[in-house]
Amino acid sequence: GAGVSQTPSNKVTEKGKYVELRCDPISGHTALYWYRQSLGQGPEFLIYFQGTGAADDSGLPNDRFFAVRPEGSVSTLKIQRTERGDSAVYLCASSSGTDYYEQYFGPGTRLTVT
Amino acid sequence: AQSVSQHNHHVILSEAASLELGCNYSYGGTVNLFWYVQYPGQHLQLLLKYFSGDPLVKGIKGFEAEFIKSKFSFNLRKPSVQWSDTAEYFCAVGGGSQGNLIFGKGTKLSVKP
């Protein structure tokens, strides 16, 4: 597609439930990033994929968060046992392998945990 | 630890006024610096970036930023703002080889017509 797409755009879930957030990067982009943006804050890095492997997952807050990118394209961020503090906008970005810092962001998924 | 500080939470200007948004960073290595913009209802977009060379960098829509190494600053400027510049502006620093960005909290700019 023309840009990074993310689904769903909004997700409301109950505390304790499991959620999956999907990111479809720009075609051909090898690097994919997940960020989380809480209200009044800038995006906070979660995890970075180069191809299929997670090159840096140091930003994941705890083991309830997990992400995969099995075929080196679409990625899924998975959150188990959601908590109210997980409520935020989850942003995905992708970049080409030649310029990691020129990241193109998707519209985000707004997650609300009730 | 790496960090980015944006001093202004909300800036309100009239059209044609000059703009300067402050950004200071803390990072021990070679820095790559960025300004991103988020217009209402739209995605984050790259406004400009500094990797090396001329410390005065020019971006889209008439924006520019100056890297001052001695002050650890990368302030964003525009000589004359327009109503369409109303948006939230984020300063970010990238370090290392992996490309993850560290963002400031953002500055909301409101331009009155």
DSSP class per residue in A64-98: TEEEE-TTSS-EEEEESS--GGG-EEEEEEEE-SS
pLDDT of residue A55: 86
pLDDT of residue B97: 57
Give A47's contacts (C-beta < 8 A, 6+ positions apart).
A33, A34, A54, A56, A57, A59, A60, A67, A77
Q: How confident is the model at residue A101 (pLDDT cuts 50, 70, 90)?
A: confident
pLDDT of residue B86: 98
Residues B80, B61, B6: CA angle, nearest 5 degrees: 75
Residues A64, B43, B86: CA angle, nearest 5 degrees: 130
Task: Tell me the chain B residues in contact with residue A108 when contact means C-beta distances shorter than 8 Å.
Answer: 43
A17 DSSP assignment: -
- Does position B99 have pLDDT exceeding 80, yes or no? no
Higher pLDDT, B2 or A14: A14
- Shortest Cα distance, chain A CAs vs residue B74, angstroms: 16
Contact A91, A112 (CB under 8 A): no
- Does position B96 have pLDDT exceeding 70, yes or no? no
List, for residues B27-59, the tens digit of each pLDDT value.
777 788 999 999 998 999 999 999 889 999 999
Contact A35, A91 (CB under 8 A): yes
Chain B: residue whose CA lies nearest to A43? B103
Report residue B1 as tokens. 């630890």
As a whole number, mean pLDDT of residues B65-81 equals 96
Report residue A100 as tokens. 């990691």
Contact B44 A91 (CB under 8 A): yes
Residue of B7, B101, B107 to mutate for A, most A C-beta atoms under 10 A = B101
List, for residues B15-29, the tens digit of each pLDDT value.
999 999 999 999 777
- Shortest Cα distance, chain A CAs vs residue B22, angstroms: 15
Specify the range with the lowest mean pLDDT, choosing from A7-16, A38-47, A86-95, B22-31.
Answer: B22-31
- Does position B71 have pLDDT exceeding 90, yes or no? yes
- Shortest Cα distance, chain A CAs vs residue B55, angstroms: 18
Select from B92, B98, B106 the Cβ nearest to the Cβ of A100: B98
Most confident stretch, A13-22, A98-107, B87-96: A13-22
pLDDT of residue B98: 67
Report residue B67 as tokens. 């890297």
pLDDT of residue B30: 78
pLDDT of residue B37: 96
Query: Which residues 77-106 of B have a C-beta within 8 angstroms of A?
Result: 90, 92, 94, 97-106
Select from A41, A45, A105 the Cβ nearest to the Cβ of B44: A105
- Does position A1 have pLDDT exceeding 60, yes or no? no
